[in-house]
Amino acid sequence: MRSQVTKSNKIRRIQEYRRVLELRPDDVVARNSLGGALQSEGKTGEAIAEYRQVLALRPDYLDASYNLGSALLSEDKGEEAAAQFQAVVTAKPDDPEAHANLGRALALSGNMTEAAAEFEAALRLDPQNADVHYGLGRVYAAQGDLTRAAAEFESALRINPEHASAHSDLGTVFAMQGRFAQAVAEYEAALRIEPGLATARDNLERARAKLAVSNP
């Protein structure tokens, strides 16, 4: 019943924003809010269209740039998302989340060197953010720097020991280094936290097989 009420409220909000915009089509606050409501309902394409309209009306509206970047990132459109987050970072260089999201967008686009720089900037501003340490670890792993990748995943886990993906990716680094017993332990930790994590489950079986071969 509760979920039905929540969904009904979301639909009502969308209808209300649309009514406001019928009267005031240039109301950027209402249009940005409509984009957010649509996005929360999984209507990402429609949300993106609303955010773009906001920015056509007011190119310096940073909330819309941030929201558009987030929506594009969720659609795996890294280059477009990076352009939006870059606009936010330029205007607000002390915003750690904007740097982190720019890092995610750049990594998605394959720009790992620039992505690492943005994650590092985010951590200078917010060093206790486990997700940012995790993101930087993934970038280092993609660059083949396994030592630094492991250090970042371990940092993420010191801050948040329940970070299943950090356990899983640390396990993968250990497996690549031939440290199969440690890899097994990390995959098992990931699955205790998130039993449905398919990558950890599949990699756990491979790591166990490698461990059995190395310890007959």
The C-alpha torsion from 209 through 156 and 70 to 115, rounded to 10°, is -90
The CATH topology of domain 128-216 is 1.25.40
Q: Which of 145, 96, 142 is nearest to 121 (CA)?
A: 96
- Residues 140-162 have pLDDT tens digits of 999 999 999 999 999 999 999 99
Q: What integer pLDDT is reported at residue 216 of this predicted model?
A: 59
Rounded-to-integer distance, Cα 199 and Cα 210, Å: 16
Q: What integer pLDDT is reported at residue 83 of this predicted model?
A: 98
- Residues 27-82 have pLDDT tens digits of 999 999 999 999 999 999 999 999 999 999 999 999 999 999 999 999 999 999 99
Asked whether the beta carbons of 100 and 129 are under 8 A apart, the reply is yes
Listed by start position, the domains of the chain span 1-59, 128-216
The CATH topology of domain 1-59 is 1.25.40
Asked whether the beta carbons of 34 and 50 are under 8 A apart, the reply is yes
The average confidence (pLDDT) of the chain is: 95
Measured at the CA of 174, the angle between CA 168 and CA 177, to 5 degrees, comes to 145
Q: Work out the pLDDT band at 11, boundaries 50, 70, 90.
A: confident
User: Identical fold at 1-59 and 128-216?
Assistant: yes
Chain CA centroid to CA 44, Å: 16
pTM: 0.89
